């Protein structure tokens, strides 16, 4: 069974655009929809500021054709996540591994 067969979740990839300097406009958002597989990370932690912090809450696997970077946000199951890291595994163009941090858990 190939990896795309596991892409059973629908996520929204959100791009936030800041207004130009001295503009009276607000930030704007645009989004695209992608299929992927979402899994908990299993407790990837880093030690910073005197305590352990969760690096990422979820891993998202998507096709290599999905346009996503660390500047995007992801909306899944009515929750919004920051994109912490995007990896094109082995630079083979097979799939991307995206680490997601729950915005509600941000310190």
Q: What is the pLDDT of residues 7-55, one digit of tens each?
A: 999 999 999 887 776 666 677 778 899 999 998 876 665 655 665 666 7
Domain boundaries, given as residue ranges, for the chain: 3-105
Pairing of strands 9-17, 73-76: antiparallel
CA dist 83 and 58 (Å) reads 10
Q: Once rounded to an integer, what is the mean pLDDT over residues 50-79?
A: 87
CA dist 87 and 47 (Å) reads 22
Task: Fold for 3-105, please state it.
Answer: Thrombin, subunit H (2.40.10)
């Amino acid at each position: 069974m190939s990896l795309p067969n596991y892409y059973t979740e629908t996520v929204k990839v959100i791009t936030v655009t800041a207004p130009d300097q001295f503009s009276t406009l607000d930030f704007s958002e645009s989004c695209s929809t992608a299929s992927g597989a979402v899994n908990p990370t299993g407790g990837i932690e880093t030690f910073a500021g005197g305590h352990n912090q969760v690096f990422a809450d979820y891993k998202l696997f998507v096709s290599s054709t999905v346009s996503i970077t660390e500047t995007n946000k992801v909306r899944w199951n009515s929750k919004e996540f920051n994109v912490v890291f995007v990896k094109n595994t082995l630079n083979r163009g097979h799939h991307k591994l995206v680490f997601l941090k729950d915005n509600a858990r941000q310190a």
